Structure 1
Amino acid sequence: MDWEDFRKRGADAAAWAADYHRDLRDRPVRPRCSPGDVLARLPLSPPDTAEPVDDILADLEQTILPGMTHWQHPRFFAYFPANAAPVSVLAEYYVSAIAAQCMLWQTSPAATELETRVCDWMRQSVGLPAAFSGVIQDSASTATLCAVLAMRERALDWSGNTKGLSGQPALRIYCSAEVHTSIDRAIWISGIGEQNLVRIPTEGQSRAMNTDALRAAIASDRAAGLLPAGIIACVGGTSAGATDDIAAVMDVAEAEGLYTHVDAAWAGSAMICPEFQPIWAGVERADSVVLNPHKWLGAQFDCTTHFLRDPATLVKTLAIQPEYLKTHGADGIINYSEWSVPLGRRFRALKLWFLIRAHGLDGLRGMIRNHVAWAEGLALRLAKLPGFEIVTQPMLSLFTFRFAPPGAAQVDALNQRLVNAINDDGRIYLTQTRVDGALVIRFQAGAFTATAQDVDMAFDVISEVAAELTAAPD
């Protein structure tokens, strides 16, 4: 294919995308296939000669698409959303065509400066003070790894990168049991080790870290000759929306001199609505904050905004400047590769720029407010159904529930059968989790194209499938 061929094929792809989204409600959210079905239809060896593009596209339709879970489906209520607003997809067309490598200012000056500007737009939008600077990472996992590496180096007086961790005092990082598993991975990759990730008990409906227990754990570690390095707090935890009292956590961190990272990967997007900002009161005192526009705001994966109160700490941790990466004769420039683990960087800022301009903050706020209201309404309706209980109340648009009709035995197994049957039905998609050891079902409204009618259908499907399960013999 040359660029003249692409002219037609690109137009065809745009038409295909529009048709795909137009008809998405008619597809099951999750594919009806078994492990190995797609693999069995793929040739064992690559072709030696070129194949017609029409044949490739036919295989896309017949082999690949039937095996895809449709994350853009308006009734995708599982996990968290991975939205792709049309204008964001359009921006990615341009990004892919330009195919710039945006690791340094000099390798794409406009990409660097646009990233600076849109990160500041996001900072303003979520109410962070002007002291914060932002960078776009690929994912919250990478942002958290960056934060943990900064914690490590700061605590070791910048000797970890040079001397390694052997012979150094054992570092300790503190968080609740409700944080995302990306924190565990960051601890592994940074060399700190899982045994040095200290899980603090939670309390209350918000499942917040108990700050008295946090203080006690830090004091105990210091007395044992261990080296506390940082605290990771969460706002809107993945499992059930757990949210720490950020101001109380910051009180402890400041008293102990510890670096703090706030993981608000999903819930942080809702902070563009001023009425939700009290949820993370105290966040302005954190050292590092992450949120994912590629979840709830409509910028498709990957696009994570990572805010830093003192970027110099991260740059000192990550920057390497061989001669071939130096920009001579330009002072005061930013090279965002020095704020990230990878050297190579995509032009992610363009889709965020397109998205914010095309929808405006008011448009994005309206979508989020609808999702929150619809989830709250669904929780109220489910709570009135016989046998249903709301286990964790809505945190923004996420809540968990459990089906435990009177006299039911093996309630965990019943709820697993329920969620499996709901997903096999195909009209909606939910996932399960555990709260205090009990298996529960998660619901989260966040699809860009979801409507109130889609959430109503969730109620219908949940209630219908539950009734069928209880009517069926064991």
Structure 2
Amino acid sequence: MKWDEFSGWGRRIADWAQDYHLTVGDKPVRANTEPGDVLNALPAIPPEDGEGMEAIFADFEEIVMPGITHWQHPRFFAYFTSNAAAPSVLAEFLTSAIAPQCMLWQTSPAATEMETRMMDWLRQALDLPSEFQGVIQDSASSATLAAVLTMRERALNWQGNQQGLFAQKPLRIYCSSEVHTSVDRAIWVAGIGQQNLVRVPIKGDWRGMDPVALRSAIEADIAAGLQPAGLILCVGGTGTGATDPVKDCLQIAEDYGLYSHIDAAWAGSAMICPEYRHYWPGVERADSIVFNPHKWLGVQFDCSAHFLKNPDDLVQTLAISPEYLKTHGKDGIINYSEWSVPLGRRFRALKIWFLIRTYGLEGLRARLRNHINWSQQLHDRLALEPDFEIVTPPMWSLWTFRYAPEGAPDLDDLNLRLVNAINDDGRIYLTQTRVDGALVIRFQAGQFETTEADVMMAHRVITEIAATL
């Protein structure tokens, strides 16, 4: 394709995208292909000669689209939604067209300076203190890895990168059983080792870490000659929305000099609404915080907001400056590649700018409040059904339930069959998790264009299909 052909196809694809978003609610939410269907439809040998876009686009519709699970479907109630609000998609289109590599200030000054400003906009939206500065990571997993590496370096007096972990005291990182598995991966990659990730018991409706047990675990490790290094707290965990008692746990981290990180990948978006901030009192005492605007806020994937009280700790952990990456003759610049593990960086700030300017914070708050209110209404309706039980209460827009008709011999099997039947039906999409060993079904509302009617439809689908089992 030549560039003088691009605009015609660009218009055609823009029309296709608009139609897709306007009609996606008419499609089954989850892809209904079998394993291997798409693979076998793709030629095993690459073409020697080029083909026209007409044929390529026809194959896109015929081969690719049947194998797509529709994350932008208004009845996508599984996992946590990865949103794509219209202005964010347009910003991503522009970013793809410009195609800048934004690793340094000099490689794209606008990208660096917009990232600085957009992260401060988000900081203000969350009402975090002005001392926090931010960087956009690709995902919360990367932010957590950066935090764990910083925990390691600070605990080793900044010698870990040079000396390795040999002959050092084993480092200990503390979290609850409800944190995301990205924490485990970060522990592996950082070389700390799975056995040094200490799972602290949980308690209460919020399924949060027990501060008394946390202090006891730290004291026991010190007595055993181990080195406590960091604390990772969860605000809105993936399974049930589990949330640790932030203030009490951060006090303990301060008492023992631990670096503290808060993973609020999903629920952090809700903190733009003042009435939900009671879930993380004392958050200003954390060393780092992450949330994903690409989940609930509406920004196109990928875009993860990582806030740091003292960015110098992260820079000291990650920065490498060979001569070919230096910017000479400019003072006061930030090179965000020194704040993240990858060197290469995309222009992610542009889609935040487009989104916030289009809707304003109040428009975004209204969407979040609707999702939470509608989800709680559905919770209340299902709780009245005689054969259903609520397992964990609503945390923002997430809660779990279980189909438990009297006399059912194996509730785990019954609920697994129920969630599979619901997803095969195609009108809504749910996922399962385990609570205290029992299999339960999750509900979470957060798709950007979902309506009250979409959420209420879930009641009809769940009860109808349950009655057939």
Q: Assess same fold via TM > 0.5.
A: yes
Distance 1:384 1:183 in 2: 37
Equivalent residue number for residue 88 of structure 2: 88
Q: How does 1:12-411 map to 2 (within 5 A)?
A: 12-411=12-411
Residue of structure 2 equivalent to 1:437: 437
Equivalent-residue separation in structure 1 for 2:114 and 2:2 (angstroms): 30
Please give the alpha-carbon distance, in whole angstroms, between the structure 2 residues aligned to 1:258 and 1:297.
31
Q: What's the offset of the Cα at 1:149?
A: 0.2
**Cα distance, 1:41 vs. partner?**
0.7
Contact 1:126 1:271 in 2 (8 A): yes
Query: In 2, Cα distance between the equivalents of 1:2 and 1:86?
Result: 27
Matched to 2:386, the amino acid is P
1:256 Cα offset (Å) = 0.6
Please tell me the residue identity of whatever aligns with 2:418: L
* C-alpha contact (below 8 Å) 1:337/1:345 kept by paired residues: yes
Q: Secondary structure at the match of 1:23?
A: helix
Q: Provide the rounded CA distance (Å) in 1 between the counterparts of 2:367 and 2:245.
A: 26
Distance 1:12 1:166 in 2: 58
Deviations 1:417-469 (A, max 9, x none): 00000000000000000000000000000000100000111111001000111
- The code of the aligned residue for 1:391 comes to V
Query: How far has the Cα of 1:54 moved from its partner?
Result: 0.6
Q: Show the counterpart of 1:472.
A: none
Secondary structure of 1:330's counterpart equals coil
Q: How far did 1:346 drift?
A: 0.1
Conserved? CA contact 1:253–1:260, under 8 Å: yes
For 1:102, the aligned partner's letter is C
State the TM-score, normalizing by the size of structure 2: 1.00
Cα deviation, 1:282-327, whole Å, max 9, x if unaligned, reads 1100000000000001111100000000000000000000001111
Separation (CA, whole Å) in 2 of partners of 1:185 and 1:66: 32
User: How far, CA to CA, are the matches of 1:4 and 1:245 in structure 2?
Assistant: 58
Deviations 1:82-122 (A, max 9, x none): 00000000001110011001000111111100000000000
Alpha-carbon shift at residue 33 of structure 1 (Å): 1.1
Q: CA RMSD in A?
A: 0.5
Shift of 1:386: 1.3
- Cα distance in 1 between the residues matched to 2:344 and 2:290: 20
Structure 1: which 5+ runs fail to align?
470-474
Q: C-alpha displacement at 1:174, in angstroms?
A: 0.1
**How far apart are residue 167 of structure 1 and its match?**
1.1
1:413 is matched with 413
The amino acid of 1:451's aligned partner reads T
Structure 1: distance between partners of 2:111 and 2:3 = 24
**Counterparts of 1:254 and 1:71 in 2: how far apart (Å)?**
40
1:158-184 per-position Cα deviation (integer Å, ceiling 9, x unaligned): 111001111111000000000000000
SS at match of 2:468: helix
CA–CA distance in structure 2, aligned partners of residues 340 and 164 of structure 1: 20
Task: Give the whole-Å Cα distance in 2 for the aligned partners of 1:287 and 1:344.
Answer: 25
SS at match of 1:468: coil
Q: Which whole-Å deviations, capped at 9, do the CAs of 1:202-229 have from their partners, x for residues lacking one?
A: 0000011001110010011011111000
**Poorly superposed stretches of 4+, deviation over 2 Å:** none
Structure 2 gaps of 5+ residues are none
Counting matched residue pairs gives 469
1:376 aligns to what SS in structure 2?
Answer: helix
Counterpart amino acid of residue 169 in structure 1: K
Deviations 1:46-75 (A, max 9, x none): 101001111100001111000100000000
Distance 2:438 2:326 in 1: 55
Length-normalised TM-score, structure 1: 0.99
